[in-house]
Amino acid sequence: MGELTTDIKYLKGVGPKRAELLTRELGIETIGDLISLYPFRYIDRSSIQTIASISQDVASIQIRGKVVSRTLYGPSSSIVKTDSDKIHFNAAKRLSVIVEDDTGRMEMVFFKGIRWNYERLQPGQTFIFFGKPSEFNGRFNIVHPEVDEPQEGNMSQGVLTGVYPSTEKLKNAGITGKVMCKLQSAALSLCLPEITETLPDYILGDLALCSRQYAIKNIHFPADAYALQKATRRLKFEELFLLQLSLLKQKYIRSRSENGILMPKVGPDFNACFEALPYQLTGAQQRVIKEIRADLMSGRQMNRLLQGDVGSGKTLVAVLSCLLATGNGYQTCIMAPTEVLAQQHYANIQKYLSPTSIRCALLTGSSTVKERREIHAGLEDGSIGLIVGTHALLEDNVIFKNLGLAVIDEQHRFGVDQRAKLWGKGPEIDSSGGRQAPHVLVMTATPIPRTLAMTVYGDLDVSVIDEMPPGRKPVRTTLHTPAKMPAVYNFMRSEIAKGRQVFVVYPMIFENEKLDLSNLEQGYEDIMKEFPLPQYKTAMVHGQQTSEVKNFNMDAFASGRANILVSTTVIEVGVDVPNASVMVIMSAERFGLSQLHQLRGRVGRGAADSHCILIRDYKTSKESLQRLELMCRTENGFEIAEEDMKMRGPGDLEGTMQSGLPISLNIASLAKDGIILGEARAYAQKILEADPSLSDPRNERLAFELRREKYKVRDYSKIS
Ligand code: ADP
Ligand code: MG
């Protein structure tokens, strides 16, 4: 026993050197870690192709070939001399092995392990070669093929062989796919008896899941395709189920605790604001406000995520929520990720608040010392009812008298620690300085696919505004190559002649800011040539400008002084210029779909017909084209987010949300396993309803699993 936790270096075939590499490259420290490294795909090794049948567009081929000749090449393809028996391996840079089958010949190329392969691949002998073919000078070759002896009875017992994640360094150190299979086989024969069941028998029976032991064995060495399918389903379910169970358990615990600030009243300010609105709330806005009001009256702390497309009217919902809190004598804050956004919020919010008696203030990095002093005082004595601001709100010297509700806009732009700071700013509840947590409403215009929301925000309540205010016109989206630019310029001129404004956006890829910046600057010059002063004015905004320069340029556009804004994605979030009717996006294929959707949301906010013009590079991959065509087809943010996740995997979305997943998934994929996730969540819910603390002996295994580090998920209720 105890093999699972044994240091990987003691596994047969590993040793200290390989162990170090396995740890560094794949995070494998113990034999158990190795077993948790599952294949990411499987190859059917039962089929052997002929050399004549090779074509370039296959991912891998397997041929049975006899070695014809071996040649060692030195630098610049000089042939390394082989005198009588002395071979100068040190001078060799490349080994070329010609192999043949009944249909033809091809080359196998090795840059590493030259001596070993040279000695092993003796002319006249037959081997199985496996790898990705590439075409070179009209002939096919395989660089670093996997080489197997053709005898029966080698590693792959079944016909399906797992392919494991690997790295260049591992391969160079001789940990090839075949070696990895050998290590897994050794690890399994040592540990299989130790692999215990994690799910209660009644669940296994209920859902017809295979045992954990069967699953682990067959995920590595599937007996057949059916066994692999059973193993995969079992392991994916387990992973998603335990995660949901842990998230939902937290939610249950919180929903039972009664420490939320109680806000039963509506108050005159809410009504004053509401009655002065020049329009009706949309059905979705009404529903969400009801949900929030119910939270505020529940005696439990609210932790609600409000999702809604750009322009769906989240700000108004935020303001009305704040007025519910102020109506009960509490202070509120609305925090935005950038100064420009905070200013814009402030301007809009002041309009909403004008019929009320609420004192509102703006605190940002550029507030003057004098302004700060007044604001700090107003927050401490409680006279400021609603403060709008940036990160500046989080500073230690910003002390509220009694913060009752914190609204965080575009929450993914805030780090976890920053959000945690808000937590300590609630009302004091005891003389020792203990504070009661404010209610928290986080808003996002990045529609998060349902499966991801279930996981990332599994313990939050989610409200969705899925209805646009009336009068918003659809944005016409079209896709072109740069050949169309002259026509695009003409179109821009005609729109500007009508008094409209135009965004021109360039991609920013963070690996190479200098290059991106020069793209942008080149683009700016192009635009300046096409749209010369004094007839046209063009402003430029990018992430490397100081905030004064950025604000100045942004303001030039927002106020209508500039006709064109050339920028990177810094305008992505929130900025509201209703007069802008055209959005031109350059190298559109380099943006994520969700990002394009955000950008497109910048136009179509006014009365005019709006246009989004996507310019793609000539060389755009098929997948990118499909993504861009989807943009032209739909304006539904959720549909786009789902597609984006399917096409790119959730990784990028996590990136854009920064908060990431509460745990990392080993086998399940949020993009592909939505159905299993739904099942897992429903099942977890059912179990917790009957046994919220998992104290029923039947659920003993579950309670045990949730104590594992892996499922100790971050508590979002405490940080967001
Ligand atoms: P979001 O923050 O969700 O992007 P905003 O709150 O900025 O959206 O609202 C976008 C625009 O729609 C604003 O000009 C706002 O005044 C307007 N608006 C909000 N709610 C309604 C409504 N129910 N009817 C008409 N217009 C509305
Ligand atoms: Mg907004």
Question: Rounded to whole angstroms, how far apart are CA atoms 132 and 200?
Answer: 44
The owner of tokens 């302004």 is 371
Residue pair 360/333 in contact by the 8 Å Cβ criterion: no
- In eight-state DSSP terms, residue 307 is E
From the list 584, 654, 653, 593, the residue with the least C-alpha distance to 623 is 593
pLDDT for 654: 41
Question: Rounded to whole angstroms, how far apart are CA atoms 175 and 100?
Answer: 27
From the list 557, 574, 562, 559, the residue with the least C-alpha distance to 531 is 562
Ligand 1 neighbourhood includes 311 CB (under 6 angstroms): yes
Q: Whose CA is nearest to atom 10 of ligand 1?
A: 311
pLDDT digits (tens, 9 = 90+) for 8-44: 999 999 999 999 999 998 889 999 999 999 998 787 7
Ligand 1 neighbourhood includes 449 CB (under 6 angstroms): no
Ligand 1 neighbourhood includes 312 CB (under 6 angstroms): yes
Question: Rounded to whole angstroms, how far apart are CA atoms 12 and 14?
Answer: 6
Question: Rounded to whole angstroms, how far apart are CA atoms 593 and 652?
Answer: 11
The owner of tokens 């992430």 is 543
Atom of ligand 1 nearest to the CA of 312: 3
Same domain as 416, residue 279: yes
**CATH classification of the domain holding 107:** 2.40.50.140
**Among 173, 195, 217, which residue terminates a domain?**
195
Within-domain flag for 323: yes
pLDDT digits (tens, 9 = 90+) for 72-98: 998 777 887 665 567 788 888 899 999
Q: Whose CA is nearest to atom 1 of ligand 1?
A: 311
- What does each C-alpha distance from 450 to 444, 467, 539 come to in angstroms? 14, 17, 38
- In eight-state DSSP terms, residue 457 is T
pLDDT for 648: 64
Within-domain flag for 549: yes
Ligand 1 neighbourhood includes 469 CB (under 6 angstroms): yes
Q: Whose CA is nearest to atom 25 of ligand 1?
A: 469
Ligand 1 neighbourhood includes 282 CB (under 6 angstroms): yes
Could you say which ligand is closest to the alpha carbon of residue 306? 1
Ligand 1 neighbourhood includes 310 CB (under 6 angstroms): yes
| From 8-17, 189-198, 590-599, 626-635, the region with the lowest mean pLDDT | 590-599
Give the pLDDT band of residue 154 (cuts 50, 70, 90): very low
Provide DSSP, 321-368. Answer: HHHHHHTTT-EEEEE-SSHHHHHHHHHHHHHHHTTS---EEEE-TT--
Same domain as 182, residue 129: no
Q: Answer yes or no: is pLDDT of 506 > 80.
A: yes
Q: Answer yes or no: is pLDDT of 596 > 70.
A: yes
Could you say which ligand is closest to the alpha carbon of residue 336? 2
Q: Answer yes or no: is pLDDT of 451 > 90.
A: no
Ligand 1 neighbourhood includes 186 CB (under 6 angstroms): no
List residues bridging with 108 in a β-sheet.
97, 142
pLDDT for 148: 74
Question: Rounded to whole angstroms, how far apart are CA atoms 393 and 414?
Answer: 12
β-pairing, 403-409 vs 331-335, is parallel
- The order of strands in the sheet holding 360-363 is 360-363, 386-389, 331-335, 403-409, 439-444, 303-308, 461-465
Question: Rounded to whole angstroms, how far apart are CA atoms 50 and 100?
Answer: 9
pLDDT digits (tens, 9 = 90+) for 631-681: 999 888 878 877 777 766 555 444 443 334 455 678 887 767 878 988 998
The owner of tokens 């197997």 is 148
Ligand 1 neighbourhood includes 249 CB (under 6 angstroms): no
- The fraction of the chain above a pLDDT of 70, given in percent, is 88
pLDDT for 717: 41
Element (H, E) at 148: strand 146-148
Mean pLDDT, the chain, rounded, equals 85
Q: Answer yes or no: is pLDDT of 413 > 70.
A: no
The owner of tokens 């009875």 is 153
- What does each C-alpha distance from 648 to 41, 155, 297, 455, 520 come to in angstroms? 18, 34, 41, 18, 26
Pocket test for ligand 1, best of 315, 322, 408, 577 (most atoms within 8 A of CB): 315
Same domain as 142, residue 53: yes
- What does each C-alpha distance from 696 to 457, 614, 683, 700 come to in angstroms? 27, 58, 16, 7
pLDDT digits (tens, 9 = 90+) for 242-269: 988 988 888 777 777 667 899 999 999 9
Question: Rounded to whole angstroms, how far apart are CA atoms 331 and 314?
Answer: 19
Within-domain flag for 487: yes
- Which residues fall inside 5 Å of ion ligand 2, going by CB? 574
Question: Rounded to whole angstroms, how far apart are CA atoms 192 and 463?
Answer: 45
Domain hosting 407: range is 268-298+313-444
- Give mean pLDDT, residues 482-496: 96
Same domain as 168, residue 291: no
Same domain as 50, residue 35: no
Same domain as 278, residue 425: yes
Same domain as 177, residue 141: no
Within-domain flag for 58: yes
Could you say which ligand is closest to the alpha carbon of residue 601? 1
pLDDT for 610: 93
Q: Answer yes or no: is pLDDT of 571 > 70.
A: no
CB proximity list for 507: less than 8 A, separation 6 or greater: 516, 519, 568, 569, 586, 587, 590, 591
List residues bridging with 110 in a β-sheet.
95
Same domain as 290, residue 149: no
> Beta strands of 455-568 (E only): which ranges?
461-465, 475-480, 501-505, 538-541, 564-567
Q: Answer yes or no: is pLDDT of 408 > 80.
A: yes
Distance 604 CA to ligand 2 centre (A): 14
Within-domain flag for 203: no
Within-domain flag for 613: yes
CB proximity list for 604: less than 8 A, separation 6 or greater: 311, 472, 473, 474, 475, 581, 610
Ligand 1 neighbourhood includes 285 CB (under 6 angstroms): yes
Q: Report how many domains make up the chain.
A: 4
pLDDT digits (tens, 9 = 90+) for 278-289: 999 999 999 999
- Which pTM was predicted? 0.64
Q: Answer yes or no: is pLDDT of 153 > 60.
A: no
CA atoms within 13 A on the CB side of 496: 22
For 94, the token pair is 């490349």
Question: Rounded to whole angstroms, how far apart are CA atoms 403 and 389?
Answer: 14
The owner of tokens 């215990």 is 196
Residue pair 479/588 in contact by the 8 Å Cβ criterion: yes
- What does each C-alpha distance from 599 to 140, 386, 630 come to in angstroms? 45, 29, 15
pLDDT for 513: 59
**Among 137, 172, 195, which residue terminates a domain?**
195
Same domain as 189, residue 102: no
Ligand 1 neighbourhood includes 316 CB (under 6 angstroms): yes
Question: Rounded to whole angstroms, how far apart are CA atoms 326 and 352?
Answer: 14
For 247, the token pair is 């998230």
Ligand 1 neighbourhood includes 606 CB (under 6 angstroms): no
Atom of ligand 1 nearest to the CA of 576: 7
Question: Rounded to whole angstroms, how far apart are CA atoms 718 and 720?
Answer: 6
Same domain as 65, residue 29: no
CB proximity list for 298: less than 8 A, separation 6 or greater: 260
**CATH classification of the domain holding 630:** 3.40.50.300
Distance 52 CA to ligand 2 centre (A): 60
Q: Answer yes or no: is pLDDT of 720 > 50.
A: no
Ligand 1 neighbourhood includes 337 CB (under 6 angstroms): no
Within-domain flag for 650: no
Atom of ligand 1 nearest to the CA of 282: 23
Within-domain flag for 706: no
CB proximity list for 535: less than 8 A, separation 6 or greater: none
List residues bridging with 502 in a β-sheet.
564, 582
CA atoms within 13 A on the CB side of 278: 3
Q: Tell me whether residue 675 is exposed, middle or buried, using C-beta atoms within 10 angstroms of its C-beta: 0 to 12, 13 to 18, 19 or more.
A: exposed
**Among 567, 599, 634, which residue terminates a domain?**
634
Distance 267 CA to ligand 2 centre (A): 25
Same domain as 490, residue 431: no
Ligand 1 neighbourhood includes 274 CB (under 6 angstroms): no
Ligand 1 neighbourhood includes 281 CB (under 6 angstroms): yes
Same domain as 627, residue 547: yes
Q: What are the φ/ψ torsions at residue 131 (nearest 5 degrees)?
A: 170, -175
Could you say which ligand is closest to the alpha carbon of residue 470? 1
The 8 Å CB, 24+ separation contacts for 266-272 are 266/293, 266/324, 266/327, 267/323, 267/324, 267/326, 267/327, 267/328, 268/327, 268/356, 268/357, 269/323, 269/326, 269/327, 269/356, 269/357, 269/358, 270/320, 270/323, 270/324, 270/327, 272/355, 272/356, 272/357
